[in-house]
Amino acid sequence: MPEVDLAIIGAGPAGMAAAAAAAGGGARVLILDEQPRAGGQIYRNLGAGDDARAYLGPDYFAGRALIAALDGAGIRAEFGATVWRVEPGGRVVWSQGGKSHMATARHVLLAGGAQERPTPFPGWTLPGVMPAGAAQILMKTSGLLPRDAVLAGCGPLLYLIAAQLIEAGAPPRALVETQTPAAMLGAMRHLPGAFAAFPMLFKGVRLIARIVAAGVARHTGASGFNASPTGDGGIVFSFRTGRRAHQLQTPLLLTHQGVVPSTHISRAAGVAHEWNAAQQAFQPKTDDWGATDVNGIHVAGDGAGIGGAEAAQAAGRLAAFDILYRLGRWSADARNQRAAADRAALRRAWAIRPFLDCAYAPAPEILAPEGDTIVCRCEEITAAQIRQSYAEGAIGPRQVKTATRAGMGHCQGRMCDLTTRGILASCGAAPAAPRARSPIKPVTLGELAALAAHQETSS
Amino acid sequence: MKIASRFLTRPDTTGTVRLTVDGAPFTARAGDTVAAALLAVSGDAFRQTGKGAPRAAYCMMGVCFDCLIEVDGQPNSQGCMTQVRDGMVLRRQHGLRRLSGDEDRA
């Protein structure tokens, strides 16, 4: 007998919106998140009630209502809960406080969100090089402000963080962007389609104007990223624009090349995935409601393809409506009628993606690096080693893993899988289906043994 | 803590939790993670890899495992997923851990 109607994994915009909608329809909901409180990365730490950080902007504080709604009836929320296994049939296993726990649900919604795309270049493993989103997490959770930072890479998040730093009185030293004028020009053909997302476009233009007005040095069309350490722990960041070589010194180099769906959990659950060429990432195959090919498993939010927080909320609610229908609580008509507003919101939010995906496509040198650039951070495997293993007959990511150990470390390939595939593709290898197996996060043998002992005594 | 922090700490974030790293005392803000607390006071590496390369906290969201550090005797703890506690003892790691938690110096 399932203990809950719906288990939601991830308490970001998609998961929180789904929890409120499902509980509102009378479902018993369990929502699990790895972090200490709800919000996901976008609304990280917002629930802590710290109003002193107005510089984070109104979009951040807009998450309040979603977080408050988790206190509603019918929702059990567990935080600090790392889900490491989801089984077809609805059993969910998570680690919390050094112990593993299980629950069975009639439906499971995966709402694990996104991670930043790994940005390999020479020196990206040095202390003093971080993803820009990681620095923003530190701004949200701890009030830490990057000191004289250089922002480098591409994507709207760089503009937002630069503007937040300016607002907070700690402007970045420079903004170095990899997108080329040609890419921007190519993206213009998507602008008419993006008209429905005009407020979002306008926000972006205002952010850029703010950065320019603050006098932050800006370079575009940059390539040839390289970071090396100075004697006092700083970073020397070199890059080229056209034929011109540049060098900047900074305590903190913050990189970004967009975000990609976190798919380890959907892969390990046996869900079919597809390659999204526009976003250069894998995503689970879902229907209009977020349902997958595995009975009882839905996926919503950025984990099903990058669409941003507003799209994630709408998709989370649509999945909840479909689950209420499948639970027999709602008729198909009721589901379809309730869905109209969120379908419209989803269309509006998606309208800007073709433009963004094209204008801020990841830099080719990041997708398929060469030489001594480390690809697998855990096992310290370089691009040259991966290319060498391909030359010696490792034709896919699994063979490369066996040959080099790339992808065999603690992070289970989260930081290298896309890059390994990018390198193999650049060598002419055929694409291979993505895989993952539980436990999808490291669990101690002691924890597994305790879980098995508990099962034996209770069965 | 030889290298200065790469971050400015806002005045609204004064530390009240007392802990040590490699024996040196420092303070952190209640509710912070071990990784954020260390980054606030020092720009140094969190650990050295098996090949001796310095690494510090990277993704801050539990994905990359670069922030591994010994927390109260427990090696390979994710600094960015562990909350600070009064009296916590942190040790930076050098090289890989054995199953026993000791350093692998072979």
Q: What is the mean pLDDT of chain B?
A: 91
In whole angstroms, give the CA distance from residue A432 to residue A399: 11
Residues A236-260, mean pLDDT to the nearest whole number = 97
Q: How far is CA A440 from CA A273, A351, A414, B74, in A?
A: 17, 33, 10, 21
Instruction: Report the alpha-carbon distance of residue A91 to residue A446 in Å, rounded.
Output: 21
Return the number of other C-beta atoms located less than 10 Å from residue A237's C-beta: 25
Q: How far apart are CA A172 and CA A189, in angstroms?
A: 32
Provide the token pair at A179. Answer: 């997108």
The average confidence (pLDDT) of chain A is 95
Note the CATH architecture for domain A4-115+260-330: 3-Layer(bba) Sandwich (3.50)
A274 close contact with B: CB closer than 8 A: no
Q: Give the pair of three-digit tokens for residue A401.
A: 């893993």
Neighbours of A331 (CB within 10 A): 11
Torsions phi, psi for A311 (to 5 deg): -65, -40
Interface with B, mutate which of A84, A138, A157, A444 (most B CBs under 10 A): A138
Overall domain count for chain B: 1
- Residue B82 CA to its chain's centroid (Å): 10
How large is the average pLDDT for residues A316-321? 98
Which burial class, exposed, middle or buried, applies to A97 when counting CB atoms under 10 A from its CB (0-12, 13-18, 19+)?
A: exposed
Alpha helices for A276-308 (secondary structure H): none
Encoded amino acid at A173, one letter: R
Instruction: Name the strand (E) or helix (H) holding A391.
Output: helix A383-391
Segment A447-459 mean pLDDT? 76
Residues on chain B touching A135 (C-beta within 8 angstroms): 60
Q: Which residues of A touch B57 (CB under 8 A)?
A: 130, 134
Q: What is the CATH number of the domain that holds B43?
A: 3.10.20.440
Judged by DSSP in three states, A158 sits in helix
The ipTM (two decimal places) reads: 0.95
Question: How far is A142 from B77, CA to CA, in rounded Å?
Answer: 20
Q: Would you state the pLDDT for residue A35?
A: 96
More confident residue, A266 or A49: A266
Residue B106 has pLDDT above 50, yes or no: no
Report how far residue A10's alpha carbon sits from residue B82's, in angstroms, rounded to the nearest whole number: 18
Name the residue in chain A with its Cα closest to that of B58: A130
| Cβ–Cβ gap B64/A52 under 8 Å | no
**Counts for chain A of helices (H) and strands (E), in that order:** 16, 22
| Among the partner residues A126, A138, A414, nearest to B64 by beta-carbon distance | A414
pLDDT at A79: 97
Helix, strand, coil percent values for chain B (each to nearest 5): 10, 35, 55
User: Which pLDDT score is estimated for B11?
Assistant: 66
Q: Are B88 and B74 in contact (CB under 8 A)?
A: no
Q: Where are the alpha helices (DSSP H) in A45-189?
A: 58-61, 64-69, 132-142, 156-167, 181-187
d(CA A193, CA A354): 8
Other residues' Cβ atoms within 10 Å of the Cβ of residue B41:
18
SS3 A354: helix
Chains A & B: contacts with CB separation below 8 Å: 129
Contact assignment for B40 to A142 by CB distance below 8 Å: yes
Chain B residues with CB inside 8 Å of A170's CB?
Answer: 8
To the question of domain A118-257 being in CATH 1.10.10.10, the answer is no
Does residue B58 lie within any of the structural domains? Answer: yes
Residue B27 domain boundaries? 17-94
The answer on pLDDT for A296 being more than 50 is yes
**Burial letters A172-208, b for 16+ CB under 10 A, else e:** bbbbbbbbbeebbeebeebeeebeebeebbebbeebe
State whether A146 and B6 contact (CB < 8 Å): yes
Question: Over the Cα atoms of chain A, what is R_g?
Answer: 22
Query: pLDDT tier at B105 (50, 70, 90 boundaries)?
Result: low
Helix (H, G, I), strand (E, B) or coil at A264: helix
How far apart, in whole angstroms, are the C-alpha atoms of residue A441 and residue A447? 13
Q: Give B-chain residues touching A126 at CB under 8 angstroms.
A: 54
SS3 content of chain A, % helix, strand, coil (to 5): 40, 25, 35
Instruction: Identify which of A141, A142, A232 has the shortest CB distance to residue B3.
Output: A232
Instruction: Tell the residue number behind the tokens 């198909």, with chain if given.
Output: A332
Note whether A409 and A378 are within 8 A (CB).
yes
Is the pLDDT at A70 greater than 90, yes or no?
Answer: yes
On chain A, the residues whose CB falls within 8 A of the CB of B60 are: 130-131, 133-135, 137-138
Residues of A in contact with B42 (CB under 8 A): none
Residue A459: pLDDT above 60? no
Decide if B39 and A138 are in contact by the 8 Å CB cutoff. yes
Residue with tokens 């915009």: A13
In the structure, what pLDDT confidence band is assigned to residue A194 with cuts at 50, 70 and 90? confident
pLDDT at B17 exceeding the cut of 90: yes
Q: Alpha-carbon distance A65 to A40, whole Å?
A: 14
Residue B5: inside a domain: no
- Contact (Cβ atoms closer than 8 angstroms) between residue A53 and residue A352: no
Omega before A146 within 30 of 0, i.e. cis? no
Pick the CATH number of A368-431+440-459 from 1.10.10, 3.60.40, 2.40.10, 3.30.1360: 1.10.10
Contact (CB<8Å) A410/B58: no
Model confidence pLDDT, tens digit, residues A85-95: 999 899 999 99
pLDDT digits (tens, 9 = 90+) for B25-64: 999 998 999 999 999 999 999 999 999 999 999 999 999 9
| Gap between the terminal Cα atoms of chain B | 27
Separation between Cα atoms, residue A127 and residue A230, nearest integer Å: 11
- Are B76 and A410 a contacting pair at CB < 8 A? yes
Q: Which residues on A lie below 8 Å from B101 (Cβ)?
A: none
Where are chain A's structural domains?
4-115+260-330, 118-257, 368-431+440-459
